[in-house]
Chain A
Amino acid sequence: MINLLLRLYPPRWRARYGDEFAAVLEERPLGPFDVADVLLGALDAHLHLRGLGAASQHAKGFAMSLRIGGYAAILGGILWFVALAGNAINDGADSGSSVLGITLMTSIVVATAATLVALVGLSAFQSRRHPVLTWTAFAIPAIGAVLGLLGVVAMAVAGDTDSTFFGGLSAYLISTIGVTALVLGSALFAIATWLSGSLSRAASALLLVGALLFVPAMGGVTGGIVPPALGYLVLIGAILAFPAGWIALGLSALRIDGPRPITLEGASL
């Protein structure tokens, strides 16, 4: 992976800094934050060597990463709430609306993308202390995102959620596996964040609870694992806690990045 990252830099840059930069990258495991930072660094190097360095947005580094991750987490949380609550209402209706269905699918796709961005942007500290856990928390949802997207596209094309699509699985089941992978990755990310203490532990706990509630919620509603009444109760908990956890983590990141609330009342400015 290090060789691949190095190749993204201009040859002139590599000739001067390549060896020592590779040595730095080999010093410790790279997390998603580091990889994103190196990708932006490579872009900056290309622009800088062309005399366009000032156009690069790379400089803010960690602060920029936190801000982007924070906003992505909030956007993802809001869209997850819309998608999950809307899906529960749509499933409960006698005949689901196709417009609502398309809106929900779009929400899921955008929410998935936003959550992946949040996982990268907010994982700087976690990847230092728990690299395997953090990478797993990114890789599982990334695979899930591909599956979920395949399932959503298949449903949109076929217009039928039950027809067999791939490997004997229905498009609906594939998209469900994708969402489940994203929820599982969110749970791992919540654990890594809790352990590192880099963002709010209360928000991490909320996200973990929301993610964990998903399993019995899906089993209760679709699989009959738990009594239906309890299943719906757990489902409501998951629909509230999972998005709220991501939103709280996003706000926690923006609070770190943002200005401190200092009152200068009475000061002569």
Chain B
Amino acid sequence: METRIPELGRFAEPALLILVSLSDGPKHGYAIMADVEAGTGRPLGPGTLYAALARLEERGLIEALAPVDRRRPYRLTAVGATILAEQLHELSEFAQLGLKRLARSSG
């Protein structure tokens, strides 16, 4: 299923994971990486992380806060939160549809 985060192409999946990670508050790069890895069980490489962060920031879905030491936290913007909510809602509906079909085919 194609994600709807705008114009991110193949970066949509890591971008979605980053937006979800930021949904409970601002985090800096390493905290996002650790959070995504803990949540998905899959490594998120630092190069991929920053490629997606740069695109999300360009599109105004996240914004950078003042750095603490050298760590710069990011937070969701209002637009980012709205798009994330829509995206998760669509994914949830899709998951429900899949589960219903599986239940019908096995039942």
Binding site for B on A (CB under 8 A): 13, 16-17, 19-25, 27, 33-34, 36-42, 44-45, 48, 53-54, 56-62, 65, 124-125, 128, 262-268
Q: Taking chain B's interface residues, is the majority helix, strand, or loop, or is none over half, making it mixed?
A: helix
Inter-subunit contact B72/A20 (CB<8 Å): yes
Which of chain A's residues has its CB closest to B101's CB?
A267
- Taken together as a complex, chains A and B put the C-alpha atoms of A48 and B50 apart, in Å, by 12
For the complex, count residues of B whose C-beta is within 8 A of A.
33
Residue picked from B28, B43, B71, B104, most chain A C-beta under 10 Å? B43
Chain B residues contacting A128 (CB-CB under 8 Å) are 37, 43
Docked Cα-Cα span, A45 to B11, in Å, equals 13
New A-B contacts (10) at CB < 8 Å, excluding given A20-B70, A23-B29, A38-B46: A23-B28, A23-B71, A25-B46, A37-B45, A48-B54, A58-B47, A59-B51, A62-B43, A128-B43, A268-B101
Most buried by B among A39, A45, A53: A53
Given contacts A17-B54, A33-B43, A262-B102, contact A58 B72 (CB under 8 A): no
Asked if A20 and B48 make an inter-chain contact with CB atoms under 8 angstroms apart, the answer reads no
0 or 1 for each of B3-19: is its CB under 8 Å from A? (1 = yes)? 00000011111100000
In angstroms, Cα B43 to Cα A23, docked, is 18
Which of A42, A53, A54 is in CB contact (< 8 Å) with B47? A42
| Interchain CB contact under 8 A, B69 and A23 | yes
What residue in chain B is nearest A17 (Cβ atoms)? B50
Q: Which residue from chain A places its CB closest to the CB of B37 in the assembled complex?
A: A128
Complex CA gap A58/B50 in Å reads 12
Q: Known contacts A17-B54, A23-B29, A24-B49: does B14 contact A61 (CB below 8 Å)?
A: yes
Q: Chain A: interface secondary structure?
A: helix
- Closest residue on chain B to residue A263 by CB atoms: B105
B33 CB-CB contact with A under 8 Å? yes
A59 touches B11 (CB 8 A): yes
Partner of A19, one of B43, B46, B67: B67
Chain A nearest CB, measured from B61 CB (Å)? 16
B44 CB to nearest A CB, Å:
7
Task: Quote the shortest CB–CB distance from A229 to chain B (angstroms).
Answer: 47
The 8 A-B residue pairs with the shortest CB-CB distance, nearest first, are A41-B47, A37-B45, A59-B10, A61-B48, A267-B101, A23-B70, A37-B47, A38-B47
Known: A33-B45, A34-B45, A38-B46. A58 touches B51 (CB 8 A): yes
Residues A23 and B47 in contact, CB atoms below 8 Å apart: no
A124 pairs with B43, CB closer than 8 A: yes
Q: In this assembly, does B30 line the interface, its C-beta being within 8 Å of a C-beta of chain A?
A: yes
Given contacts A20-B28, A59-B10, A125-B43, contact A48 B67 (CB under 8 A): no
The answer for the CA separation of A88 and B18 in the assembled complex, in Å, is: 52
Give the complex CA separation of A25 and B69 in angstroms.
15
* Interface CB pairs A-B, < 8 A, 18: A19-B70, A20-B71, A21-B50, A24-B49, A24-B50, A33-B43, A37-B45, A41-B46, A48-B55, A58-B47, A58-B48, A59-B12, A60-B13, A62-B45, A65-B45, A124-B45, A125-B43, A128-B43
Given contacts A24-B29, A264-B101, contact A62 B42 (CB under 8 A): yes
